[in-house]
């Protein structure tokens, strides 16, 4: 159903983008089918209302002969002309070398996070939610969370016990099928929050990570975003060095196991969507189009993890596969040599409620920086 609605919206977007400056409300916009044509349509839909020339330049680099190339060039010329006589707008946090492609859900990139005060106070985390009345536990319920902090600059980690769960969703996007039994055989630790701007900037200060923007308006406690899978690897290399522990991205199975947090429902709090649970579009306050809310603004799941849905899409280690057919069932990362695309999970503040399911997944190329993409770190418990 979601696929059919998305295809109808994408057809409508072609005509709207060519013949008007309006927009088509694709309220059920979930993931496009696995084809280059659909990726181009989705890319254009995500930038067609942007006020940043860099977004249209990225489109032209990805699709120099694309169906919207003339319009992209016209938008670039118009934006440059409009800013020629005034101070330039804050630049979007774009790759220092522009990405070759952006494959992802329709959104509104090019937005800036809200300005922070000179000494912003950290977000006050909510206590882990205990009201999960409609979410049935798995046969291996999680233990109470256990915090780990390996160094002063290290993210706070939560120890996750081994367990079994059903991964995927037979009633959603085809990429989430087939639902299958998955076993996490070893304990691991997962960051309580996504990596924040302040944590990223510590890596930048050590000359181990690249600064993502010259704009100083990012709130230090907001999740860092506009980072590629390759960027995340550089951060992990630095973190491993200073902590003396082998940090990594979670596997896709580990991520979903942690996101479900012992539940079997569509969302960790139940089968019915509720506002005020996650940081996403039309999902309740606080919400700002310009950027994600500070980490810890919304309630934690039963594992004590925050923002496992909404806020920012989160990179995981696995290569992208268009379904779970022949996927490993022991929690391992599903990889091939030299794979180009990697999986992202969880949806973002720019996406609607249909992206907030625990099973939602998509992909981007490893070197692409997209405004809604971030990550959280994991490590083995050995």
Domains belonging to the chain, first-starting first, are 2-83 (no CATH), 147-380 (3.90.1580.10)
**What is the crossing angle of helices 2-19 and 36-47, to 10°?**
60
User: What average pLDDT does this structure show over 142-151?
Assistant: 71
The answer to which of 44-48, 152-156, 198-202, 308-312 has the lowest mean pLDDT is 44-48
Are 307 and 160 within 8 A, CB to CB?
Answer: no
Residue 295 pLDDT more than 90? yes
Please enumerate in sequence order all residues whose Cβ is within 8 A of that of 2, keeping only pairs 6 or more positions apart, or say none.
28, 30, 31, 172, 173, 354
Residue 374 corresponds to which tokens in the numbers above? 């971030």
Q: Which residue has the higher pLDDT, 279 or 137?
A: 279
pLDDT tens column, 127-143 = 333 333 333 334 343 44
The size of the chain, in residues, is 382
Q: Which residue has the higher pLDDT, 46 or 348?
A: 348
pLDDT (0 to 100) of residue 42: 63
pLDDT (0 to 100) of residue 118: 31
Residue 193 corresponds to which tokens in the numbers above? 């929050």
| 341 DSSP β-pair partners | 365
Measure the CA–CA gap between 279 and 356, rounded to whole angstroms.
9
User: What average pLDDT does this structure show over 189-217?
Assistant: 88
Residue 64 pLDDT more than 80? yes
- Quick one: CA dihedral 174, 379, 198, 367, positive or negative? negative
Confidence band of 60 (pLDDT split at 50, 70, 90):
confident
């Amino acid at each position: 159903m979601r696929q059919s609605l998305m295809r109808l919206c994408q057809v409508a977007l072609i005509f709207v983008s060519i013949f008007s400056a309006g927009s088509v409300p694709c309220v059920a916009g979930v993931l496009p089918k696995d084809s280059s044509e659909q990726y181009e349509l989705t890319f254009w839909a995500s930038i067609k209302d942007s006020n940043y020339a860099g977004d249209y330049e990225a489109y032209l680099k990805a699709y120099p002969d694309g169906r919207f190339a003339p319009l992209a060039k016209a938008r670039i010329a118009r934006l440059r002309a409009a800013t020629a006589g005034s101070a330039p707008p804050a630049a979007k946090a774009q790759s220092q070398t522009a990405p070759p492609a952006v494959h992802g859900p329709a959104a509104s990139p090019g937005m800036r996070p809200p300005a922070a005060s000179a000494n912003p106070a950290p977000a006050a985390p909510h206590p882990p939610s205990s009201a999960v009345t409609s979410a049935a536990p798995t046969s291996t319920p999680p233990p109470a969370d256990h915090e780990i902090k390996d160094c002063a600059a290290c993210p706070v980690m939560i120890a996750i016990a081994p367990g079994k769960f059903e991964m995927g969703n037979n009633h959603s996007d085809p990429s989430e099928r087939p639902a299958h039994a998955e076993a996490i055989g070893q304990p691991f630790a997962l960051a309580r929050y996504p990596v924040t701007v302040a944590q990223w900037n510590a890596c930048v200060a050590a000359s181990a990570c690249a600064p993502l923007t010259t704009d100083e308006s990012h709130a230090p406690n907001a999740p860092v975003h506009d980072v590629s899978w390759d960027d995340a690897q550089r951060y992990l290399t630095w973190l491993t060095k200073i902590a003396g522990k082998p940090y990594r991205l979670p596997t896709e199975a580990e991520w979903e196991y942690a996101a479900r947090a012992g539940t079997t429902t569509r969302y960790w709090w139940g089968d019915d969507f509720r506002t005020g649970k996650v940081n996403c579009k039309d999902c309740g306050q606080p919400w700002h189009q310009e950027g994600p809310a500070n980490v810890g603004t919304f309630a934690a799941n039963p594992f004590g993890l925050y923002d496992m849905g909404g806020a920012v899409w989160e990179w995981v280690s696995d290569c992208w596969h268009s379904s779970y057919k022949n996927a490993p069932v022991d929690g391992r990362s599903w990889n091939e040599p030299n794979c180009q695309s990697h999986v992202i999970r969880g949806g973002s503040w720019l996406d609607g409620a249909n992206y907030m399911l625990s099973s939602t997944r998509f992909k981007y190329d490893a070197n692409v920086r997209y405004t809604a993409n971030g990550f959280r770190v994991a490590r083995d418990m050995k």
